[in-house]
Amino acid sequence: MIENKNKEKIHEGLKKYWGYGSFLPLQEDVILSMLENEDSLTVLPTGGGKSLCFQLPALLKEGMAVVVSPLISLMKDQVDNLKDMGVPSCYLNSSLSVKEQRSAVEQILKGDIKILYLSPERLENEETIELLRSVALSFFIIDEAHCISHWGHDFRSSYRNLKMIKERFKDISVHAFTATATKEVQKDIIAQLGFTEPKILIGSIDRPNLTYRVMPRSNILKQIKEILQKHNNEAGIIYCLRRKDVDSVSEDLMKLGIDNVRYHAGMTDKDRRLAQDRFAREEVNIVVATVAFGMGIDRSNIRFIIHAGMPKSLEHYQQETGRAGRDRLPAFCYMFYGGADFRLWSYFAEESSEKETIMKKLRAIYDFCVKPQCRHKVLSNYFGEYYGKNSCDSCDYCLTELDMVNDSLNVAQQILSCVIKVRQERYGFGTGHVVNVLRGKATEKIENLGHHKLSTFGIMKEETENYVWYMVEQLTGQGFLLKDSEYLTLSVTEAGRQLLNSEITPVLIKPVVAARKKDIAKKATEKRDSEWAEVDQDLFQVLRRKRAELAREKSVPAYIIFSDKTLRDIAAREPLTIDDFSVIYGVGENKLRAYGNIFIKTVMDYKQKSEEV
Ligand code: ADP
């Protein structure tokens, strides 16, 4: 009975404040358990709607909710967002002036605040604890809860202290949220927070709206340019492994007339903040960055992520690609990898006390790159989840963009035996030389060494250099060949010997040739056109500009005003009255009051102009 009543209440709240018609998977369960005051741990992927899971019950319950978040830069955005929806909220962290702080405390003491954001450091402070003990609290939220665990990838020492919440606030429930948590991390979170019988709610980590493509790197600038052409006018992040790569890619794009901002830890705080703000307010669409960029960014309409190099683990890949398509509209992830990335990360691993764990993770992501399989499936399985679909329809493998080599065993055996044949007793040769021998290119070096007399000389003469090179890369990636870390010379591994004995067959893919590329691009365009069939794309761009203008005026990120999904709905339905506007996706009561007339006018002006033309 109570549950039914609560259900009704939360559906009403969802429509009233957010303007959404239904819950996303697991949201309802999470919210209901919060209304029942049970401690809980929720794992939901990025874009799964975690914020709403605690913001909605915070509005319905008596007292103030306290949200512990590690990201000071995000607190302001979250609070701006809530205020824009008409929810009284504030934050306390080191970025506030003494005056601002005093004003926030006054509002809290008066009972005017429904949601308070706090940095974990603040909770180490006795004054803050006394403040919280003097007002009525609804519950505590631990956001980005994986930061509590040594096993996670963003460990924060101040998160270790959060156990005191259960000790000092005995009757208040605590709810932990994270996007990525392996079983180990989940256990650690529960133990560290001192939960006894928590409710555990785990959502699927799969992101069906993301399309993954993984390709070997060749001319990276050309490869990036090709992708940018497909995503004209859309927002994206280009991740590079090193700061100097960020600088050079950013500069090269500028020279090509492609506006972008840079972001890495070598820049001043001010410059980084500026870059982030320009991106969040939609003044610029492209960020070229190291992994330092992203934690504090909530822009929900990032349509593509390009990895110019391979990240060091699938955890990182999942988190970085996770920044795309938070609005659940289609988004695209492209990764360009090379053996050099593997060597770079192995080199760093050498110095670590956790070398074995790091190498295990590195091998897993390298496998992901070089073994053609359904990308969604590999990612799901890696995070311990069963993937039930036969085809995801949204990765290069399932979209059959990868052409398999039919006689892969034969091709691999030719290459491996060539590596053995050219190898001298003490030293071997690099990929370039092996490729030349296989293709029968009689270079001076080959003739001097007498390698033109080997039986493998010219055995692959029909193939292009790019093709043979790519096969060697894959065989190295799959562990049949080993590249010496210093001299880059090739040798055959134990697994390679098994392959030569025909005990194992490798999976090899052909490089994508120009004609096939065209075909793939055509299919992608057709798919995109069908997704936009109902939407007036010109109007959508006009609405985007209006949103950017409002964001600038209010000094808030553009997504706070409306998401792309909302703009698309406006561009499809073209509302001309407040009544029409009230049924638009993502328009709650406050937004209707604040922006209804402004956007209706934009639609009217647009229609009038189109009729005049
Ligand atoms: P997370 O923190 O899990 O990454 P967010 O809280 O940022 O996800 O939510 C992602 C997007 O989904 C936001 O734009 C949010 O408003 C939207 N969203 C949340 N819940 C719903 C819902 N029930 N229906 C539609 N959109 C939703």
Do residue 178 and residue 239 come from a single domain?
no
**322 C-alpha to center of ligand 1: Å?**
13
Do residue 293 and residue 159 come from a single domain?
no
User: ∠ CA(408), CA(409), CA(412), 5° rounding?
Assistant: 80
Query: pLDDT digit string (tens) for 473-492?
Result: 888 877 789 888 778 899 99
Query: pLDDT digit string (tens) for 409-463?
Result: 999 999 999 999 998 767 789 999 999 999 999 999 999 999 999 999 999 999 9
Question: Which of 365, 382, 399 is the endpoint of a domain?
Answer: 382
Give the chain's domain count: 4
User: Is residue 24 in contact with ligand 1, taking CB distance under 6 Å?
Assistant: yes
User: Is residue 46 in contact with ligand 1, taking CB distance under 6 Å?
Assistant: yes
User: Is residue 50 in contact with ligand 1, taking CB distance under 6 Å?
Assistant: yes
User: Is residue 20 in contact with ligand 1, taking CB distance under 6 Å?
Assistant: yes
Contacts of 183 (CB under 8 A, 6+ apart): 384
Do residue 91 and residue 74 come from a single domain?
yes
User: Is residue 285 in contact with ligand 1, taking CB distance under 6 Å?
Assistant: no
Region of poorest pLDDT, from 313-317, 393-397, 431-435, 515-519: 515-519
Do residue 424 and residue 335 come from a single domain?
no
User: Is residue 323 in contact with ligand 1, taking CB distance under 6 Å?
Assistant: no
Question: Which of 454, 483, 500 is the endpoint of a domain?
Answer: 500
Q: Which atom of ligand 1 is nearest to the CA of 46?
A: 4
Range of the domain at 447: 408-500
Question: Which of 149, 183, 202 is the endpoint of a domain?
Answer: 202
Do residue 153 and residue 221 come from a single domain?
no
Closest residue to atom 20 of ligand 1, CA basis: 49
Q: Which 3 state secondary structure label does DSSP give 294? A: coil
Q: Is 431 domain-assigned?
A: yes
Supply the CATH number for residue 480's domain: 1.10.10.10
Do residue 247 and residue 362 come from a single domain?
yes
Q: Is 373 domain-assigned?
A: yes
Judged against a pLDDT cut of 80, whether residue 340 lies above it is answered with no
- The tokens describing 390, both together, are 């036969």
How far CA 235 is from CA of 156, 228, 295, 385, in Å, comes to 30, 10, 17, 30
Q: Is 393 domain-assigned?
A: no
Q: Is 511 domain-assigned?
A: no
Closest residue to atom 12 of ligand 1, CA basis: 49
Residue 519's closest CA among 395, 357, 400? 400
- The tokens describing 342, both together, are 């593997």
Report, as an integer, the average pLDDT of 82-98.
91
Q: 3-state SS of 141-159?
A: EECCHHHHCCCCCCCCHHH
Q: How is residue 331 annotated by DSSP?
A: E
Tokens 């998160």 sit at which residue? 159
Per-residue confidence (pLDDT) for residue 154, from 0 to 100: 66
**49 C-alpha to center of ligand 1: Å?**
3
**369 C-alpha to center of ligand 1: Å?**
30
Q: How many CA atoms lie within 13 A of 397 on its CB side?
A: 18
Q: Which atom of ligand 1 is nearest to the CA of 559?
A: 14
Judged against a pLDDT cut of 80, whether residue 123 lies above it is answered with yes
* Global pTM exceeds 0.85: no
User: Is residue 276 in contact with ligand 1, taking CB distance under 6 Å?
Assistant: no
Do residue 165 and residue 33 come from a single domain?
yes
Q: Is 390 domain-assigned?
A: no
Q: β-pairing, 199-202 with 40-43?
A: parallel
Separation between Cα atoms, residue 374 and residue 391, nearest integer Å: 7
Judged against a pLDDT cut of 90, whether residue 344 lies above it is answered with no
B/e letters for 320-331, b = 16+ CB within 10 Å, e = fewer, are bbbbbbbbbbbb
Q: Which 3 state secondary structure label does DSSP give 502? A: coil
**327 C-alpha to center of ligand 1: Å?**
7
Q: β-pairing, 331-337 with 210-216?
A: parallel
**204 C-alpha to center of ligand 1: Å?**
15
Q: Is 526 domain-assigned?
A: no
Closest residue to atom 9 of ligand 1, CA basis: 49
Separation between Cα atoms, residue 53 and residue 23, nearest integer Å: 10
Separation between Cα atoms, residue 134 and residue 74, nearest integer Å: 27
Supply the CATH number for residue 39's domain: 3.40.50.300
**52 C-alpha to center of ligand 1: Å?**
7
Tokens 């194992």 sit at which residue? 504
Q: How many CA atoms lie within 13 A of 413 on its CB side?
A: 12
**328 C-alpha to center of ligand 1: Å?**
9
With pLDDT > 90 as the criterion, what percentage of the chain qualifies? 62
Separation between Cα atoms, residue 88 and residue 74, nearest integer Å: 17
Do residue 243 and residue 265 come from a single domain?
yes
**Best-predicted range by mean pLDDT (108-117, 377-386, 417-426):** 108-117
Query: Which DSSP string do the residues of 278-293 spell out, in sequence order?
Result: HHHTTS--EEEE-TTS
Q: Which atom of ligand 1 is nearest to the CA of 18?
A: 16
Do residue 23 and residue 140 come from a single domain?
yes
Separation between Cα atoms, residue 347 and residue 340, nearest integer Å: 10
Q: Which atom of ligand 1 is nearest to the CA of 23?
A: 23
Query: pLDDT digit string (tens) for 235-269?
Result: 999 999 999 999 999 999 999 999 999 999 999 98
Calculate the CA dihedral of residues 529, 532, 533, 537 and round it to 10 degrees: -100
Do residue 421 and residue 278 come from a single domain?
no
User: Is residue 48 in contact with ligand 1, taking CB distance under 6 Å?
Assistant: yes
Give, for ligand 1, the residue of 28, 30, 51 to mutate: max count of ligand atoms closer than 8 Å to Cβ.
51
Supply the CATH number for residue 566's domain: 1.10.150.80
User: Is residue 42 in contact with ligand 1, taking CB distance under 6 Å?
Assistant: no
User: Is residue 51 in contact with ligand 1, taking CB distance under 6 Å?
Assistant: yes
The Cα diameter of the chain in Å comes to 90
Do residue 190 and residue 241 come from a single domain?
no
**27 C-alpha to center of ligand 1: Å?**
10
Do residue 316 and residue 439 come from a single domain?
no
Residue 237's closest CA among 185, 283, 294, 166? 294
User: Is residue 327 in contact with ligand 1, taking CB distance under 6 Å?
Assistant: yes
Q: Is 608 domain-assigned?
A: yes
Per-residue confidence (pLDDT) for residue 372, from 0 to 100: 81
Q: Is 516 domain-assigned?
A: no
